[in-house]
Amino acid sequence: MSLSTADIKRIAHLARIEVNDVEAEATLVKLTGILGLIEQMQAVDTTGVSPMSHSQDLSQRLRDDVVTETDQRALFQKNAPPVGNGSAEPAVENGLYLVPKVLE
C-alpha cells in the first residue's frame, strides 16, 4: 500500500494537524518507511487467533453511579490558553471556554 502526499494531507486533516506541502513531502518519506515495517505483519497467519487488547483479559470495572468529583472549575480554568488573534487574555468567560464562533 503506497501513500501519496494527498493521502498525508487527508490523514493530517482527520488528525486536525495542519501540514504544508514541504512537510507533507517529508512526512510521506518517513511514513512510507514505517508502514513498510508494519507490512511484515501481513505474512503471519492469524486464523482463529482472537485479538488481545489487555494483558490480563479482564472485564471493564464499573464504579457506582455517584458523584465523586468536586467543583474545581476555577482551578482548572487557570490553565486556559490565551484567546489569540491579538488577545493575551485567558480564553475563559463566566466559567466558560472561549472559542471562535461556529454558528452565525
Q: How far is the CB of 21 from another protein (least distance, A)?
A: 14
Give the CA distances from residue 61 to residues 18, 52, 58, 67, in Å, rounded to whole numbers and listed in that order. 38, 17, 8, 17
Q: Does 16 bind another protein (CB under 8 A)?
A: yes
Query: Residue 32's closest CA among 68, 8, 53, 56?
Result: 8
Query: Residue from 2, 22, 51, 65 that binds another protein (CB under 8 A)?
Result: 51
Distance CA 95, CA 104 (A): 22
Query: Residue from 2, 53, 65, 67 that binds another protein (CB under 8 A)?
Result: 53
Strand partners, 44: none
What are 72's three cell numbers?
A: 474545581
Q: How far is the CB of 85 from another protein (least distance, A)?
A: 6
Q: What is the contact surface with another protein in residues (CB under 8 A)?
A: 8, 11-19, 27, 30-31, 33-42, 44, 46, 49-56, 58, 60-61, 63, 72, 75-85, 91, 97, 99-100, 102
